[in-house]
């Protein structure tokens, strides 16, 4: 009877075919990177990180970190609830808490991803189109980590957006304000240096002035880079002293930390901004865009940097791109932006500060508010930033935004999430050049110059070593062997630049 097991084809019992004359089965591998035509949100150019990969950071985030963040968010709402007296408001908020609790349950039970309820937000269609096309039948753990994590924050938004009284409530607002007011040392370190308007030394030669400008630029680029170390979604277990050590902005610490920038295009970045000043008609520099990451201390560092770029004539206009609603715990919203500028001028966040420190911070805040009034600083919040799409898809899914950025002389993306979205958050080799890793954001006609200032806090790492020489692989593999956790500690960073194809006409198929 061996070799003659019966099975059915269309109800007719047949013998199993032996197939002994056909070629043997080959063990073949998917070739990475995938061809452009076969890339989609569920199939990134290199293998996606997914929550079900045991022992991965994706797994730790989806299985542990996100439920913890949701739990803390519920605690925040309960605190608000306990301070209320109006019944209508109370009942409405209780419903928000119930929706958060069921989201937490869905997360821990690996529920299927369902469409977003139409709450009137500008991004509902973008979300639901992506879910229908690529994530039908997917759950929190088997969808790519980037999408699943973003989706969680959109669902958290929905818990409030469909309420009557609480549609703008930010469960992370208290935490975000706290990190700024607890960063007093670093805040005053910078404000006392920068509150007076920037002047170049008139006795110095122009070559010397340019050199001091270059050195300042490099140091402030590092301040802006390491200001990103305070990402609240990762600091849930950190002590105040640990946060302070991370935020250290002293010169010595900066020289030391440059060693930890594993892919470093800062020298070229300087040439780019220097030429913006040289090549502008009136010598006032170009347009620089910041795609922001975190509120509070990091945003403050970004603004110090942006202030310097304006005053030194390297930039004439700065666009800041924030989020429309609370996102990845600490990301900047319009409210956080206004809170920072106004509390610097009117707030009483630092009761122990000296009169001089308070005055310096106030002057700095007043100058920044003036830039906003004059239109030299512009704050924007395009809905695309709060979607699950990566920036490979920006040209197709948000053509207006791509066109807008194409007019910029330099777009600086801050932080880990923006870096994940630039690189499609997938397992690209360490030595992959930044240009290749960001795909259409480098290769499309009209793509702007793109710079990623990122302290490394998750799995994707590219741009190590010089392009194609293999050194980058060695650097990464050595760290893998010797320093487990190097990709999530925030101790290492990259400053990567893509030249893009600026000036070319943007066309849409
Ligand atoms: Mg963030």
Per-residue model confidence (pLDDT) at position 369: 98
| Residue whose token pair is 């070319």 | 504
CA of 232 to the centre of ligand 1 (A): 8
Report the 3 state secondary structure along 346-406. Answer: HCCCCCCCCHHHHHHHHHHHHHHHHHHHHCCEEEECCHHHHCCCCHHHHHHHCHHHHHHHH
| Residue whose token pair is 């520099």 | 285
Please tell me the distance from the alpha carbon of residue 373 to that of residue 345, in angstroms, as a whole number: 15
Handedness of CA 84, 88, 89, 91 (dihedral sign): positive
Please tell me the distance from the alpha carbon of residue 430 to that of residue 350, in angstroms, as a whole number: 43
CA of 231 to the centre of ligand 1 (A): 6
Structure tokens, 399: 């053509």
| CA distances in angstroms from 486 to 23, 187, 456, 477, listed in the order given | 46, 27, 8, 11
Q: Are 93 and 84 in contact (CB under 8 A)?
A: yes
Please give the domain boundaries of the chain with CATH numbers for all domains.
36-161 (1.20.930.60), 175-498 (3.40.50.10880)
Structure tokens, 256: 């030391």
Q: Over the chain (509 residues), what is each successive 10-residue block's mean pLDDT? A: 51 71 82 93 96 87 91 97 98 98 95 96 96 96 96 98 98 92 87 90 90 90 84 50 60 73 95 94 91 95 96 96 97 98 96 96 98 98 98 97 98 98 96 96 98 96 73 92 92 96 93
Please tell me the distance from the alpha carbon of residue 173 to that of residue 324, in angstroms, as a whole number: 14
Task: Tell which residue, 91, 67, 83, has the closest CA to residue 156.
Answer: 67
Task: Tell which residue, 42, 39, 62, 37, has the closest CA to residue 136.
Answer: 42
Per-residue model confidence (pLDDT) at position 360: 97
**Dihedral (Cα; 217, 220, 221, 226), 10-degree rounding:** 170
- Ligand 1 is a single-atom ion; what residues have CB below 5 A from it? 293-294, 328, 330-331
Q: Are 279 and 234 in contact (CB under 8 A)?
A: no
Task: Tell which residue, 419, 411, 451, 454, has the closest CA to residue 229.
Answer: 454
CA of 403 to the centre of ligand 1 (A): 25
CA of 414 to the centre of ligand 1 (A): 9
Beta bridge partners of 318: 288, 377
CA of 328 to the centre of ligand 1 (A): 5
Task: Tell which residue, 158, 154, 163, 189, has the closest CA to residue 386.
Answer: 154
Main-chain dihedrals φ then ψ at residue 42, nearest 5 degrees: -95, -10
Based on its alpha-carbon atoms, the radius of gyration of the chain, rounded to whole angstroms, reads 25
CA of 245 to the centre of ligand 1 (A): 19
Per-residue model confidence (pLDDT) at position 232: 47
Handedness of CA 392, 484, 176, 370 (dihedral sign): negative
CA of 92 to the centre of ligand 1 (A): 29
Helix ranges (DSSP H) in 135-265: 145-161, 173-181, 184-194, 206-226, 240-247, 251-258
CA of 356 to the centre of ligand 1 (A): 32
CA atoms within 13 A on the CB side of 58: 23
CA of 59 to the centre of ligand 1 (A): 19
Beta bridge partners of 315: 286
CA of 415 to the centre of ligand 1 (A): 7
CA of 325 to the centre of ligand 1 (A): 12
Neighbours of 2 (CB within 10 A): 4
Angle at 422 (CA atoms; ends 498, 444), nearest 5 degrees: 55
CA of 16 to the centre of ligand 1 (A): 57
Angle at 326 (CA atoms; ends 189, 336), nearest 5 degrees: 35
CA of 411 to the centre of ligand 1 (A): 17
């Amino acid at each position: 009877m061996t070799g003659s097991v019966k099975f059915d084809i269309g109800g007719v019992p047949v013998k199993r075919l032996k197939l002994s004359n056909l070629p043997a089965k080959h063990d073949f591998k998917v070739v990475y990177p995938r061809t452009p035509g076969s890339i989609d949100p569920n199939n990134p150019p290199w293998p996606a990180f997914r929550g079900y990969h045991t022992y991965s950071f994706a797994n730790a985030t989806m299985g542990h970190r996100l439920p913890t963040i949701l739990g803390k968010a519920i605690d925040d709402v309960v605190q608000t609830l306990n301070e209320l007296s109006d019944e209508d408001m109370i009942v409405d908020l209780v419903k928000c808490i119930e929706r958060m609790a069921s989201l937490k349950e869905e997360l821990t039970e690996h529920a299927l991803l369902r469409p977003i309820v139409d709450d009137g937000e500008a991004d509902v269609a973008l979300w639901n189109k992506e879910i229908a096309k690529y994530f039908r039948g997917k759950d929190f753990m088997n969808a790519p980590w980037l999408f699943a994590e973003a989706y969680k924050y959109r669902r958290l938004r929905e818990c409030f957006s469909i309420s009557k009284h609480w549609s703008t409530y930010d469960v992370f607002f208290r935490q975000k304000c706290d990190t700024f007011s607890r960063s007093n040392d670093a805040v005053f370190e910078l404000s006392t240096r920068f509150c007076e308007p920037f002047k170049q030394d008139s006795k110095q030669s122009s070559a010397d002035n340019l050199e001091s400008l270059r050195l300042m630029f490099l140091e402030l680029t590092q301040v802006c880079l390491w200001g990103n170390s305070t990402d609240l979604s990762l600091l849930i277990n950190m002590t105040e002293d640990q946060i302070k050590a991370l935020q250290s902005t002293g010169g010595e610490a900066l020289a030391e930390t440059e060693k930890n920038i594993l892919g470093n295009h800062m020298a070229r970045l300087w040439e780019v901004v220097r030429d913006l000043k040289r090549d502008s008609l009136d010598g006032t520099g170009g347009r620089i865009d910041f795609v922001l990451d975190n509120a509070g201390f990091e945003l403050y560092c970004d603004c110090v940097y942006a202030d310097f770029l304006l005053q030194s004539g390297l930039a004439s206009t700065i666009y800041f791109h924030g989020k429309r609603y609370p996102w990845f715990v600490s990301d900047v919203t319009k409210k956080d932006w206004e809170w920072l500028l106004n509390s610097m001028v009117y707030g009483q966040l630092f009761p122990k500060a000296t009169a001089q420190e308070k005055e310096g911070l106030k002057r700095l805040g007043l100058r920044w508010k003036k830039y906003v009034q004059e239109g030299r600083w512009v704050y924007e919040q395009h809905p695309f930033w709060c979607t699950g799409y990566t920036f490979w898809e920006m040209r197709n899914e948000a053509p207006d935004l791509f066109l807008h950025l194409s007019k910029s002389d330099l777009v600086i993306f801050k932080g880990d999430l923006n870096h994940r979205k630039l690189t499609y958050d997938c397992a690209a080799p360490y030595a992959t050049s930044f240009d290749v890793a960001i795909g259409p954001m480098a290769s499309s006609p009209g793509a702007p110059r793109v710079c990623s200032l990122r302290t490394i806090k998750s799995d994707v790492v590219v741009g190590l070593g010089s392009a194609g020489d293999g050194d980058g692989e060695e650097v990464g593999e050595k760290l893998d062997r010797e320093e487990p956790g190097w990709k999530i500690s925030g101790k290492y960073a990259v400053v990567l630049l893509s030249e893009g194809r600026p000036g070319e006409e943007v066309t849409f198929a």
